[in-house]
Amino acid sequence: MVLSTLSDKELVARCKQELPGSTGSYELLVQRYMHQVYRVVYGVVHQREDAEDITQEVFLKVYNGLPRLEKASSFPGWLYRIAANTALDALEKMQRRKSNEISLPEPQPVAVAGLEDSVLRAELRECIQRVLCQLKREQVVALVLRDFEGRPYEEISRVLEVEEEKQSTVKMRIHRARLAFQKKFIQMCEKVKTKARQRLSLSTM
Amino acid sequence: MRDEEVLLWIERLLRDFADEDLDAALRAYPDIPEVIQRAWEVRKLLRFFQAEAVQVPMGLEKAVFARLRTVHTGREFLDLTSYAGRELVDLSSQGLLFWLLELVRLLVGLIDPAAGTPGLA
């Protein structure tokens, strides 16, 4: 049988049978989901090296947990939850480490034409990450999947473990997550708020 | 207006479908536009923040496989390191006692081969 022709569900079922004895099918599963997992992780930590380490950790957790996963069909949602939670755990650790370090004055970014957006993104990163650490896990997952990743509601339903028919529930949770984000952002991001407001013509921030 | 209804309007607004019904609803519930605007601006901010194309770094796949194989090989090794139902790396007092008794049996076995049958502890 050619493994690459298997559907995701079939491949997951095969992995469940084979692990931990053989990793052949699992390696194919890793290849299929590598990009999505890396994007979710990167969406949270926004640092390449950290995202690489965390992605590796995610696939090790999945390797260890997959034999105990009950339904093969619930694999994508389960995988996204592991990815988001592992990334958030790492982010919280980073934030704690940062708060324990002696803070030096940050170098002022030099405004060069065409680079303003990158500079603003870099400034936003620090702040958005602090805000994400203050939100409920479920809210972060909703924001990362919908607003960072643009994933469809059906997929987000599976990750949040909401029945797929109840899309209004998922939409409401995303909406509430955005409002919670905005409230924290206003409280915690005084400096970068003004720049973002000007650049993106935001009136409520 | 129930939450679900509000969400329907939000969805329509986000897709730029403004129509008469929507205008009427917005007039009837004056706080809705502000709530919608707040949510919309968060989406705009987060999309701007995440606008860069994220590519999986070269070599990450290989690194994941290498780590997996290390763990896998380690697990196989641990599977091999059990003897008579006991882990070879078991350093608990019971484990040490077990191995001490095994050693005594082996030593006794050297003196009297009939007495030193391993794995009976």
ipTM score of the complex? Answer: 0.77
Statement to judge: residues B102 and B67 lie in one domain: yes
Q: How many domains does chain A have?
A: 2
B44 CA to chain A: closest CA distance, Å? 8
Which CATH number covers residue A50?
1.10.1740.10
Across the strands, what pairs with B83?
B86
A144 CA to chain B: closest CA distance, Å? 9
Residues of A in contact with B34 (CB under 8 A): 204
pLDDT in tens, A54-63: 999 999 999 9
| Greatest pairwise CA separation for chain B in angstroms | 102
**Per the CB < 8 Å rule, is B4 touching A172?**
yes
Residue B35 lies in a domain: yes
pTM as predicted: 0.71
pLDDT in tens, A121-173: 888 888 999 999 999 999 999 999 999 888 899 889 988 988 877 788 898 89
B32 CA to chain A: closest CA distance, Å? 13
Residue B121 lies in a domain: no
For residue A64, the enclosing domain spans 1-103
Whether residue A204 lies within 8 A of chain B, CB to CB, comes out as yes
B83's enclosing H/E stretch is strand B82-83
Q: Which of A41, A69, A103 is where one domain is finished? A: A103
Whether residue B73 lies within 8 A of chain A, CB to CB, comes out as no
Q: Which of A77, A103, A129 is where one domain is finished? A: A103
Statement to judge: residues B107 and B69 lie in one domain: yes
Whether residue B67 lies within 8 A of chain A, CB to CB, comes out as yes
Statement to judge: residues A17 and A96 lie in one domain: yes
Statement to judge: residues B41 and B68 lie in one domain: no
Backbone angles phi, psi at B82, to 5 degrees: -115, 145
**Per the CB < 8 Å rule, is A178 touching B54?**
no
Statement to judge: residues A3 and A94 lie in one domain: yes
pLDDT in tens, B13-69: 665 555 666 666 667 777 777 888 888 899 998 888 887 778 899 999 999 988 888
For residue B105, the enclosing domain spans 60-111
Statement to judge: residues A115 and A167 lie in one domain: yes
Q: Quote the tokens at residue B84.
A: 């008579």
Statement to judge: residues A55 and A146 lie in one domain: no
Residue in chain B closest to A204 (alpha carbons) equals: B38
Statement to judge: residues A25 and A90 lie in one domain: yes
Contact between B68 and A23 under an 8 Å Cβ cutoff? The reply is: yes
Statement to judge: residues B67 and B40 lie in one domain: no
Statement to judge: residues A14 and A74 lie in one domain: yes
Q: Is A58 left (phi over 0), alpha (psi -120 to 50) or beta?
A: alpha
